[in-house]
């Protein structure tokens, strides 16, 4: 309790010291389509009013194929520039992207299916798009904190307000496309450096939750390495038990590191309004050790 009022889930998570790293989705496929906020389903985007059953089937078919598809909705502030349904897709495993305007939701579902199958169904995303979770019906932290973040970014970069991105206790959250980098607890003071990082295709370490498509352990290791070596690029990650072997290039040199990790428990409410806290086991980097560094 603070001043007689219950803590929000984001306040409780911050006070508990829960780390951001390792909390991005491990789904390798993402499809985000423009849809009016008033029609969004509070928990599952595919069940939103007016969307065809084919969208929910796409999630199930991806799962049967051994992949996960994140389906997200977004809304742009201001008048819609064109008719139709704006669609953005990303395959984080291959780096492929898609940006198009479909004639209707059924055509958007068909385009997502083609993209997931590896087909070329449109042009790639040409410039970064930032999706900010402002889904207040899912959790009040996203609605309140997310809208403030979206307002701070608007006019500086292509931004849209999105349905739930996951991890409302880490709000405000934003997902950067096409990189798949997810950020949380982004304050007004973080915005200038976050924008600079996005424009130069770099990671902004203080708010970094992880790169979509990677497992939790890999995300934690990547974040630990980037915090220590901001110029690292072309990272290759190889988990082995609680150790992740990482190789990357930095300033013309080839580096190999080992990141040791351990599981730690954090307590906090899962959503605003929850009466009792829950325990979360999270991976956390405990040591980063240089194995070798060679100039090239």
pLDDT tens digits, 147-201: 999 999 999 999 999 999 999 999 999 999 999 999 999 999 999 999 999 999 9
Q: Above 70 in pLDDT, residue 97?
A: yes
Question: In the beta sheet, which residues pair with residue 31?
Answer: 71, 89
pTM of the model: 0.94
What token pair was written down for 244?
A: 């992740």
Q: What is d(CA 77, CA 86) in angstroms, rounded to the nearest whole number?
A: 14
User: What percent of the chain lies above the pLDDT cut of 90?
Assistant: 79
Q: Above 80 in pLDDT, residue 1?
A: no
The pLDDT assigned to 65 comes to: 87
Q: Cα-Cα-Cα-Cα dihedral of 284, 16, 276, 48, to 10°? A: -70
- Secondary structure (3-state) at 101: strand
Q: What is d(CA 231, CA 247) in angstroms, rounded to the nearest whole number?
A: 13
Count CB atoms within 10 A of the CB of residue 30: 25
Better pLDDT: 293 or 111? 111
Q: Which string of b and e fits 79-106 if b means at least 16 CB within 10 Å?
A: eeeeeebbbbbbbbeeebbbbbbbeebe
The pLDDT assigned to 3 comes to: 43
* Structural domains of the chain, with CATH: 23-214 (3.40.30.10), 215-296 (3.10.450)
Average of pLDDT values for 267-290?
90
């Amino acid at each position: 309790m603070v001043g007689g009022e219950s803590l929000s889930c984001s306040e409780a998570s911050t006070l508990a010291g829960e780390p951001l790293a390792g909390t991005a989705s491990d789904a390798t496929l993402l499809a985000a389509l423009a849809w009016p906020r008033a029609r969004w389903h509070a928990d599952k985007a595919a069940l939103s009013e007016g969307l065809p059953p084919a969208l929910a089937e796409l999630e199930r078919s991806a799962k049967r194929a051994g992949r996960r598809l994140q389906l997200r909705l977004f809304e742009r502030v201001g008048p819609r520039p064109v008719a139709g349904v704006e669609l953005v897709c990303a395959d984080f495993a291959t780096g492929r992207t898609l940006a198009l305007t479909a004639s209707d939701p059924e055509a958007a579902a068909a385009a997502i299916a083609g993209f997931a199958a590896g087909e070329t169904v449109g042009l790639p995303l040409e410039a970064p798009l930032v999706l900010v979770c402002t889904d207040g019906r899912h959790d009040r932290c996203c609605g309140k904190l997310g809208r403030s973040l979206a307002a701070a970014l608007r006019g500086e970069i292509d931004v849209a307000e999105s349905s739930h991105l996951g991890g409302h206790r880490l709000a405000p959250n934003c997902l950067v496309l096409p990189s798949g980098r997810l950020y949380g607890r982004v304050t007004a003071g973080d915005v200038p450096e976050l924008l600079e990082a996005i424009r130069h295709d770099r990671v902004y370490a203080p708010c970094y939750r992880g790169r979509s498509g990677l497992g939790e352990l890999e995300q934690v290791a990547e974040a630990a390495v980037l915090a220590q070596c901001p110029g690292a690029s072309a990272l290759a990650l190889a988990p082995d038990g609680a150790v992740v072997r990482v190789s990357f290039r930095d300033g013309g040199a080839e580096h190999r590191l080992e990141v040791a990790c351990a599981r730690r428990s954090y307590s906090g409410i899962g959503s605003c309004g929850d009466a009792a806290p829950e325990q979360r086991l999270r991976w956390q980097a405990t040591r980063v050790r240089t194995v070798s560094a060679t100039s090239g």
